[in-house]
Structure 1
Amino acid sequence: MRKIQILLLLILSQIAYSQVKNTDELYKKAKKLDSLIFDIGFNTCDLSHYDSIISDDLEFYHDKGGITSGKAAFTASIKNNICGGPNKVKRELVPSSMKIYPLYNNNVLYAFIQEGEHEFAELSNGKWIKGSLAKFTILWILDGKSWKMKRVLSYDHHL
Structure 2
Amino acid sequence: MTPKFLNKNAFLLFFTFLVGLHFAQAQEKKVAPTSQELYNEISAMDTVLFDAFNAKDMAKFKPLFLEDLEWYQDNGGLLSYETVFSNFEKMFKNENKLTRQLVKGSLEVHPIKDFGAIEIGVHQFKHMENGKEEIGTFKFLAIWKKVNNEWKISRMISYDH
Which TM bucket (shorter chain)?
0.7 to 0.9
TM-superposed deviation, 1:73: 3.4
Q: 2:126 aligns with which of 121, 129, 137?
A: 121
Q: 1:10 aligns with which of 20, 23, 28?
A: 28
Larger Rg: 2
Q: Is the 8 A contact 2:53 2:61 kept in 1?
A: no
The list of structure 1 runs, each at least 4 consecutive aligned residues, that deviate by more than 6 angstroms after superposition, is 6-9
For residue 57 of structure 2, give the secondary structure of its aligned residue in structure 1: coil
Q: Does 1:66 align with 2:77?
A: yes
Opposite residue 144 of structure 1, the aligned amino acid is N
| Larger proportion of strand | 1
Coordinate RMSD, CA, aligned: 2.5
Distance of 1:56 and 1:41 partners within structure 2:
18
1:38-62 CA-partner distances (Å, limit 9, x unpaired): 1x22211112223432101111111
User: How many residues align structurally?
Assistant: 139
TM-score, scaled to structure 1: 0.75
Identity of aligned residues (%): 29
2:45 corresponding residue in structure 1 = 33
Distance of 2:106 and 2:43 partners within structure 1:
11
Distance of 1:50 and 1:122 partners within structure 2:
19
Q: Does 1:94 align with 2:106?
A: no
1:3 corresponding residue in structure 2 = none
Higher mean displacement: 84-93 or 114-123 = 84-93
| Larger proportion of helix | 2
1:65-99 CA-partner distances (Å, limit 9, x unpaired): 333211x4323321212x11243311110001000
For residue 127 of structure 2, give the secondary structure of its aligned residue in structure 1: strand
1:153 and 1:26, CA in 2 relative to 1: closer, same or farther beyond 3 A? same
TM-superposed deviation, 1:125: 6.7
TM-superposed deviation, 1:34: 0.9
1:130-153 CA-partner distances (Å, limit 9, x unpaired): 421111000011122221100000
1:153 corresponding residue in structure 2 = 157
Q: Is the 8 A contact 2:128 2:134 kept in 1?
A: no
